Structure 1
Amino acid sequence: MRITYKGDYALKIILDLARHFSNTPVNIRDIAKRADIPVKFSEQILLELKRGGFVQSKRGKIGGYRLSRPPSQIKLGDVVRFIDGPIEPIACLRRGYVGCNDIKVCFFRGIWQQVANSISKIIDNITFEELVKKADKIGSSITYQI
Structure 2
Amino acid sequence: MISQKAKYAFKALIHLATYPGQTVQIDDIARATGVPRKFLEHILLDLKGHGLITSRRGRSGGYAMLRPPAEITVGAVLRLIDGPIAPLACISVNAYRRCDDCLDEAACAVRHLFTDVYSVILQVMDATTLAVVLRGDATRIKHVFSVV
Q: Give the share of equivalent positions with the same residue, in percent.
A: 37
Rounded to whole Å, the distance in 2 between the matches of 1:127 and 1:96 is 28
Runs of 4+ in 1 over 3 A off after TM superposition: 91-94
8 Å contact from structure 1 (residues 15, 128) kept in 2: yes
Q: Secondary structure at the match of 1:56?
A: strand
Q: Secondary structure at the match of 2:20?
A: coil
More helix by share: 2
Q: Secondary structure at the match of 1:69?
A: coil
Q: Secondary structure at the match of 2:103?
A: coil
8 Å contact from structure 1 (residues 92, 99) kept in 2: no
Residues 92 and 46 of structure 1: is their aligned pair in 2 closer, same or farther, counting only changes over 3 Å? same
Residue 133 of structure 1 and its aligned partner are, at CA, apart by 1.3
Aligned length: 133
RMSD: 1.6
1:89 aligns with 2:87: yes
Q: Which amino acid aligns with 1:131?
A: V
Residue 103 of structure 1 and its aligned partner are, at CA, apart by 4.3
TM-score normalised to structure 1 length: 0.84
* CA offsets 1:40-98 (integer angstroms, 9 cap, x no match): 11110000001111110111111000111111111111101111112211344351234
**1:73-88 map, 5 Å:** 73-88=71-86
State which drifts further: 41-50 or 115-124: 115-124
Q: Which runs of 5+ in 2 are unaligned?
A: 138-148
* CA offsets 1:92-133 (integer angstroms, 9 cap, x no match): 435123411334221120221222211110111111111111
TM-score normalised to structure 2 length: 0.83
Residue 7 of structure 1 and its aligned partner are, at CA, apart by 0.6
Rounded to whole Å, the distance in 1 between the matches of 2:104 and 2:6 is 29
